[in-house]
Structure 1
Amino acid sequence: MGAASRAYLVAYNAAQAAGWGVCLYQIAGALAAGGGPAEAYRAGAPSAAWMQCIAALEILHAATGLVPSNALNTFMQWLGRSNALYRIAQAIPELHANPAAALMLACWSLGEVVRYPWYAATAAGACPRWLTWLRYTAFIPIYPAGVAAEMVLMWRALPFIRRRGIFSVAMPNAANFAFDYATFITVVLAAYPYLWWGLYSTLLRQRRKKLGPAEPAGAGKRD
């Protein structure tokens, strides 16, 4: 990797870490001020929306080989979060008071203020062991909690989607095309546990590789 690419990745990941740190601070600040789930969600949502939008660059990073990630997997993860944020939580204000909305943003923020600093430090070639441990340990409780919050929001959104026809296309129309967003979300909900476990188990395998037992002193040395 060239120096310019390395510098860009350090700057990009540092910016993402800072942005999600602001989001976490805003959520915590709202709760500390006596606000409820709705206030906490609304405090952090603008920052989360910006950072999630900027994260679309990561699809390009993977597609161009700037980072060793699968472009399709990166796109699917970005799309899943974007759907939960922009088309569910942001589109249905009644969901803001549901604790799952604030929990979703809190879990995302907690995960990203660990993940992005690790990426930045790794790109800089100066990642401390403790940060690697945190990167491959913090996700264990955070990831399931965040996914559960996303699923709760999608489930709670279904009555509103059906009643208002949100993001749905009814027949007849000039394109002769119909799309029922409620059905789409129902299918997504059914697939979520399977998709989640695929990603989660991959992270667990990576954790074993990254944090496996250290090689004994002298191992691999030639006599």
Structure 2
Amino acid sequence: MPRNDHKLPSSRSRGPSLAVRFYLIAFNALSAAGWAYVIYLALAVFRGQRATSSAYNFFKPLASYVPTSITEFLTPQPKTTNYFSTTLAYFLDPYIPATYESTFSTLGPVQSLAALEILHVLLGFVPSPLPTTVIQVSSRLILVWGIVERFPHTHSSPVYTTMILAWALTEVPRYAYYALSLAGCGVPAWLTWIRYSTFYVLYPIGAGSEALVMLSTIPEWSGGKWEAWSAEDWVKAGLVAIWVPGLWVMYSHMMRMRRKVLGVGKGQKLGSKPKDRLKAE
């Protein structure tokens, strides 16, 4: 699902300790750099180059520490798709290249790093709502490890490419914004505008691609074939069904945040300073 904002500690509140602040700055800076590298790897494929990620060689040894039950769950599944998904891929393939081979060994660790955001909420480092954070992070992890990694035919899917690019183009400004805000060195107006404006395009592309990637792993349903679906297929179909209302909730939230942060509405001009900027953020 699209990513929500977590609130930065207000200067009026006690705020995090110096050590926690340094940690959060490092976390956000590292996350921004990781997602920027994902963009680089994906664009290299668009340019016709075969970019490879060195992150694979670094993280591969860690796989030996993963419990056997988890590795069995991640065992590649046989190809299972439907007419709608194969037809969509047929029309998009000439325009959007497959980027899994170049990007996934970086995407996996970078997206998994976001699981620390749940810990940040639990420890009180950031005042974000726990349920929302858990839903946002877990939905991404399910897509990365429960869908893409388990179903090899998604690796050549053009909507995998649109999904990760929408994610990355959203996350780079988001993490950079938080890193600069926590560092107290001032956030450029252009970065603030990008952070609170590009969601108009990136959220629908990202959420739509997420739903289509998951949909492509569901067997054919026409002609009564849905009667042969497994329990997992029904769960995935249910998740696809809630993607649209989930997108609207996040979309509405970001529009409210944009009005607060950029000062749009109530007679204010775009870019004017809200009456209470810290409260808005």
TM-score (ref. length: structure 2): 0.67
- Tell me the CA shift for residue 18 of structure 1: 0.6
Aligned identity (percent) is 34
C-alpha distance in structure 1 between counterparts of 2:158 and 2:173, whole Å: 23
- Tell me the CA shift for residue 41 of structure 1: 2.4
1:70 maps to what in 2?
Answer: 129
Q: Which moved more, 1:63-72 or 1:16-25?
A: 63-72
C-alpha distance in structure 2 between counterparts of 1:204 and 1:12, whole Å: 26
1:28 maps to what in 2?
Answer: 43
1:19 maps to what in 2?
Answer: 34
2:178 pairs with 1:119:
yes
- Tell me the CA shift for residue 2 of structure 1: 1.7
- Structure 1 residues 92-171: aligned runs within 5 Å: 92-126=151-185, 127-159=187-219
Alpha-carbon distance change, 181 to 38 in structure 1, aligned in 2, over 3 angstroms: farther
* Matched pairs, number: 202
Contact 1:14 1:117 (8 Å CA) reproduced: yes
Q: Deviations over 1:1-22 (max 9, x none)?
A: 2211111111000000111111
List runs of 5+ in structure 2 lacking aligned partners: 1-15, 51-92, 275-281
Q: Deviations over 1:122-165 (max 9, x none)?
A: 111222222211110122211110110011111111029x9xx9
The runs of 4+ residues in structure 1 deviating greater than 6 Å are none
C-alpha distance in structure 1 between counterparts of 2:124 and 2:207, whole Å: 28
The alignment partner of 1:94 has SS state of helix
C-alpha distance in structure 2 between counterparts of 1:186 and 1:49, whole Å: 24
2:146 alignment partner, one of 63, 70, 87: 87
2:118 alignment partner, one of 59, 62, 79: 59
Amino acid of the structure 2 residue aligned with 1:67: V
Amino acid of the structure 2 residue aligned with 1:114: P
Alpha-carbon distance change, 215 to 116 in structure 1, aligned in 2, over 3 angstroms: closer
2:269 pairs with 1:209:
no
C-alpha distance in structure 2 between counterparts of 1:22 and 1:43, whole Å: 11
Q: CA RMSD in A?
A: 2.3
Contact 1:45 1:105 (8 Å CA) reproduced: no
The alignment partner of 2:216 has SS state of helix
C-alpha distance in structure 1 between counterparts of 2:120 and 2:250, whole Å: 19
Contact 1:17 1:117 (8 Å CA) reproduced: yes
C-alpha distance in structure 2 between counterparts of 1:215 and 1:32, whole Å: 41
C-alpha distance in structure 2 between counterparts of 1:215 and 1:150, whole Å: 35
Q: Which has the higher contact order (CA 8 A, sep 6+)?
A: 2
- Tell me the CA shift for residue 215 of structure 1: 5.7
List runs of 5+ in structure 1 lacking aligned partners: 169-179, 217-223
TM-score (ref. length: structure 1): 0.84
The alignment partner of 1:159 has SS state of coil
